[in-house]
Amino acid sequence: MPRLSLTTVPGYFKQDDPSTDPKTFDYARENFGIIDRQYSEDQLMSSEDGVWQRFQTHVDHLNSTDGARFKVLFLGRHGEGVHNVAEARYGTKLWDEYWSLQDGDSHGQWVDARLTQKGIGQARVAHNAWKDQLQTGIPPPQSFYVSPLNRCLETAHVTFNGLPIPKTTPFRPVIKELLRETMGEHTCDRRSSATDIAAEYPHYQFEAGFEEDDLLWDPKIRESDDHRNKRLRNLLEDIFSTDESTYLSMTAHSGAITSILEVLGHRKFALATGAVIPVLVRAEKIDDAENSTANGQ
């Protein structure tokens, strides 16, 4: 049963606005989408304070006066992977029905798919976007989470390693099993062993209880959207219940981010490979009586 009410708070980022077209929106050129708006706390600010400083002051005020807990999630999709190229090569129908079930083709393998050179370049765009926004005062992530799939592990490393942010030199994100892509059937979504991940990313931290082998991927059953939504909600409840940070980064997948946005009540906003979307989230504990009523008890 849900222990927290988790809802997106619109009106702070352009991605919240129905008039913003996900197909043409460029997060890197649009300052991650932050809206230059007025806040009640502006009267306490210096005229030299920029849009991000004013936003941070506003979030601090919400956390000190509202009674709920507010967090800002920076959701980043991995850069282009070899599986994305393969799907484009064969078309979605043939990919879903046949090629996604194979380990690869004559061009190479896509089990636990890796980034292409283009994908690495997209992660570098994200790195430079963060570097630019840090210079304008964006509140940096205080916690970093990443999917256990290789394309996300590498995207996160290229994006954040070496930035002037704590925990990024070296970069030490927490690997979360439930932050992965839609599970089952597609071999690109089967993760590597913990031993192999640790060998390639020795500074990364595994969450408690992370299994050596991938016990969630099933070669015969593809996870439903409803199950994926429940999985990502469980992940959010876990993080919101245990992490006191206000600003969090999550490097994940299109399916995982789609589910996160849906369970938060955010409008649909499909991210291009390598793109980032920030979301302001309000979290409030649900008491036992309210929880029982919500579940028909």
Domain ranges of the chain: 4-294
Answer whether 22's CB lies under 8 Å from 257's CB. Answer: no
78 flagged as catalytic: yes
Mean pLDDT of 215-222: 97
181 flagged as catalytic: yes
Confidence (pLDDT) at 288: 57
Mean pLDDT of 271-297: 77
Q: Which residue among 181, 186, 253, 266 is the active-site one?
A: 181
Question: Hey, what are 212's tokens?
Answer: 């050596």
What fold, for 4-294? Rossmann fold (3.40.50)
Q: 109, exposed or middle or buried, with CB in 10 Å at 0-12, 13-18, 19+? A: middle
Q: How confident is the model at residue 297 (pLDDT cuts 50, 70, 90)?
A: very low
pTM metric for this prediction: 0.94
56: which residues sit within 8 A by CB, 6+ positions away?
137, 139
**Among 31, 93, 105, which Cα is nearest to 276's?**
31
Q: What is the pLDDT of residues 40-55, one digit of tens each?
A: 888 878 778 899 999 9
**Among 198, 219, 189, 183, which Cα is nearest to 112's?**
189
Q: What is the pLDDT of residues 152-204, one digit of tens each?
A: 999 999 999 999 998 898 999 999 999 999 999 999 999 999 999 999 999 99
